[in-house]
Amino acid sequence: MEIKVICGTNHFLIEETLKTIKENSLSEVLRIDGASITKDDLTVSLSSFSMFEEKKIQIIDSFLIRLIDEEKSGNWDNLFTIIIPPESPNSVLFVEKFNDENELNSFLRKKVISDLNCEIEIVNTPSGRGGSREVTDWIRSREEDLGLILNNNQRMYMTYESNKDYSLLDNELKKLATFSNGEQISDNDFDKLVSFSRNYKIFDLLDMFFANRIDEISKILTNLFSNGIQSNEIVGLLNSEIHKVLQIKYLINEKKSIDEISKITGIRSKYYFNKLFSTAKKIDLSRLINAQNALLKFDIKSKTESFQNELELELLLISRL
């Protein structure tokens, strides 16, 4: 039996990869929820043959993560010699989606994965930020992936307004691709659709704050101030974001699943939720609480005293709280 793993942080491209496999395959293609399937049902499914084609391809979602979590139970012993018969003509594609590259890299290092000894296709959105030329070239590449057509001015705008953030760019490019349906995007439609809002810039500021990137903090604040956004408004938005991150952090500590956390918080945007969830996982609880308390004290001071708000806010954010 042919086994392959498709995994990564770019959920959209993973689905596009699977879509291509389905459309181009002459085999029967089935998709299975590996997070909930029983051992008996999986055994029957994998050992059976297609009634209509010479072979079948079974796409199994979220099973390998479950296998790693349940490895010590012994429930899945001999999986790749008994449950998945090696002589079968069928194919199995294990699909695993991750929120960030740290989770992905941890997954790839697990013994269960190395024991598979099979092809692993990694489908990622680059993390962090790149240089101007690097980001522009990446935008061109994503245009081809998505069937999107932008002009040079639109690419340049996206590169600089996104602060060269790959995840934010990818979110906007997918939105444009859905709207354009393969046609050229007019400047008028582009202006209406692309929204690198101040909320994203606030979250960008929060990222740089937790990463202790003093130079980037100053740049983002200068940009926000020059666009007429007041220090009180910035503090309010930062507090709002930290409040959400703290809520997610507490739920993580309570061992809630990602789906449970998403429902409890009521955050509908997958991109936005993933950003908050990633921050909650990386930052210590004590630092989140200290940052929130410092911002609340600044807010009170700004409403009761007279001082240089913009300068003091910058000093507060570069103080490595």
> What pLDDT, in 10s, does the model give residues 230-267?
888 888 888 888 999 999 999 999 999 988 998 898 87
Q: Where in the chain is the domain with CATH 3.40.50.300?
A: 2-122
Summary mean pLDDT of the chain: 84
pLDDT at 33: 93
Q: Where in the chain is the domain with CATH 1.10.8?
A: 132-196
Q: Is the pLDDT of residue 195 over 70?
A: no
Q: State whether CATH 1.20.272.10 applies to domain 199-317.
A: yes
pLDDT at 280: 92
pLDDT at 82: 62
Q: Beta strands 91-97 and 56-61: pairing type?
A: parallel
When pLDDT is cut at 50, 70 and 90, the band that residue 172 belongs to is confident
What are residue 4's DSSP bridge partners?
93, 119
When pLDDT is cut at 50, 70 and 90, the band that residue 206 belongs to is confident
- Concatenating the DSSP letter of every residue in 101-161 gives HHHHHHHHTSHHHHHH-SEEEE--PPPSB--HHHHHHHHHHHHHHHT-B--HHHHHHHHHH
Compute φ and ψ for 297, nearest 5 degrees.
-65, -40
Q: Which residue has 């354009």 as its token pair? A: 180
User: 315-320: long-range contacts at Cβ-Cβ below 8 A with a sequence spacing of 24 or more?
Assistant: 317/205, 317/209, 317/217, 317/221, 318/214, 318/217, 318/218, 320/212
CATH of 2-122, one of 3.40.1190.10, 2.120.10.30, 3.40.50.2300, 3.40.50.300: 3.40.50.300
User: Would you say the C-alpha torsion 69, 70, 71, 76 has a positive or negative sign?
Assistant: negative
- Region for 78 from its dihedrals, namely left if φ exceeds 0, alpha if ψ lies in -120 to 50, beta otherwise: left
Q: Where in the chain is the domain with CATH 1.20.272.10?
A: 199-317
Q: Over pLDDT 70: what percentage of the chain? A: 91
Q: Which DSSP helix (H) or strand (E) runs through 7?
A: strand 2-8
pLDDT at 110: 92
- pLDDT digits over 211-239, tens only? 888 888 888 888 788 777 888 888 888 88
Contact 245, 280 (CB under 8 A): yes
What's CA 219's distance to the chain center, in Å? Answer: 25
What are residue 7's DSSP bridge partners?
96, 122
Contact 191, 161 (CB under 8 A): no
Contact 201, 220 (CB under 8 A): yes
Q: Is the pLDDT of residue 208 over 90?
A: no
pLDDT at 321: 60
- Mean pLDDT of the region 58-64: 94
Q: What pTM, to 2 d.p., does this model score?
A: 0.49
Which CATH number is associated with domain 132-196?
A: 1.10.8
